[in-house]
Chain A
Amino acid sequence: RKEVEQDPGPFNVPEGATVAFNCTYSNSASQSFFWYRQDCRKEPKLLMSVYSSGNEDGRFTAQLNRASQYISLLIRDSKLSDSATYLCVVNPGGSQGNLIFGKGTKLSVKP
């Protein structure tokens, strides 16, 4: 099992749709979790952290299920500007602090 797995997509959705991305991680001791957004030919940027209690930022909701080692990102009322690749990122803990990146899920929002 790969360390961080995501459905690569692409997800093609119309404006206004709700779309959900899933991510699984293999290391049960992982400490923290994030969603990053990467636009075409740009660097990744933090979208939001993911907390055990779930957290929401406007149209975006992130959830963590430690028992199932599963992270999700829900985008409501999709906008054209949401088109990007969404990276699931995990901090496995330990002494290094290096993050593990999923390969990303590509989202394309159409008019």
Chain B
Amino acid sequence: NAGVTQTPKFQVLKTGQSMTLQCAQDMNHEYMSWYRQDPGMGLRLIHYSVGAGITDQGEVPNGYNVSRSTTEDFPLRLLSAAPSQTSVYFCASKEGGVSYSGNTIYFGEGSWLTVV
């Protein structure tokens, strides 16, 4: 089972460049989300989606865009990369829509992004 697949695993960007982090899940989960994890900050929610065509902002959405055209895919776009966006990014998915009934949230393996 593939679960949640993120690409790329590692990326170095120059300030001002744009890029897309890809995320796909094969579990038919309605809910998908993106987190960033920085030392001492824990996991912070960037954007999330409760179904195809529905997205919303999390705690730290500035500088990022998302779209959800299919149930399986939830790409994260960095519009104009800044050094402050250097971080580890995790995509996650879980069953269910707007209510969390205790189902496990599954994470991708992470994408290490460095902006120079």
Q: Give A residues with C-beta under 8 Å from B.
A: 8, 31-32, 41-46, 49, 87, 91, 93, 95-99, 101-104
Contact = CB atoms under 8 A, between A and B. Distances in A.
Contacts of B109: 42-43
Interface range on chain B (Cβ under 8 Å from partner): 20 to 34
Of B98, B100, B104, most A-chain CB atoms within 10 Å = B100
B98 A96 contact: yes
Interface of B: 31, 33, 35, 40-43, 45, 48, 50, 56, 58, 90, 94, 96-100, 102, 104-105, 107-110
A-B interface, 10 closest residue pairs, ranked by CB to CB distance from nearest: A103-B42, A43-B107, A97-B100, A101-B43, A91-B100, A46-B104, A95-B98, A32-B102, A101-B42, A43-B109
Query: Main SS of the interface on chain A?
Result: loop
Nearest to B56: A96
B25 to A, nearest CB: 13
Given A49-B102, A95-B99, A103 B41 contact: yes
